[in-house]
Amino acid sequence: MRLAESVAVVTGGGNGIGAALSRRFAEQGASVVVNDLDADAARAVAAEVGGLAVPGDAASEQGVADLVGAATERHGRIDLFCANAGVADGGGPEADESAWARSLEVNVMAHVRAARAVLPQWLERGEGRFLATVSAAGLLTMLGSAPYSVSKHAALAFAEWMSITYADRGITVQALCPQGVRTNLLDGTGETGKKLLADAAIEPDQVADEVLAALRDDRFLILPHPEVAQYYALRATDPAKWHGGMRKLQRGLA
């Protein structure tokens, strides 16, 4: 993908990976539309990159409609939509209904609603790109966080369905699946997240660099932590061994 003179929308763009993506895209010559629930953060990043801030809830139907409408009104089109906003609620079946609902709304339905909003213009033009920030949890799992794991598996499944369904119509779909990244989201996972992810955590800028490389070669899975590919292969080919290793980790946490 040629970012120069393209139009990129980034949800969750006020902090972390989203802010790093916004900066990288702007450096490459893209016009960036920054969305975030934190209006001040969205405006700060947009001002930094010379972009357009559209604060709001990118998980809601109205929020997505407002975002896509504002971006299209300003630039006439959207070339790249980054469904990057996410939440990381912990717990298992006992987690509150609100935690499960929030995880599914933000981590899954935000992607579905974004695709619904941008697909008409992309199918008409015969081109477009959808980047879903999923997580390695969508390929593997996240101990201590069933809502996060389940919703991220669903986000990956939706991205894969989109890729298969629309690839021959000019639309490229990619799934970004990092492990630990030094962001507010990682801080919010508490002691469990820190024990599992902190040692190998990378900076948001490193994730953004990997995304830039992936935009050039159109790979579906973007893995800033290369070892995730090995874990994913083991999970598929020897699930008993994989489960045994994960149970060992779980016992250590307990």
- Catalytic residues, by residue number, are 148
What stretches of the chain show up as alpha helix (H) in DSSP?
A: 16-27, 39-49, 61-75, 97-104, 110-125, 146-166, 184-187, 190-197, 204-217, 227-237, 239-253
Residue 46, token pair as written in the block:
């947009």
Report the alpha-carbon distance of residue 209 to residue 211 in Å, rounded: 5
With tokens 């139009």, the residue in question is 7
Is residue 115 within 8 Å of residue 165, measured between CB atoms?
A: no
The continuous run of DSSP H or E covering 32 comes out as strand 31-34
Phi and psi, residue 97, nearest 5°: -55, -35
Residue 25, token pair as written in the block:
């895209």
The closest of 170, 180, 174 to 17, measured between CA atoms, is 180
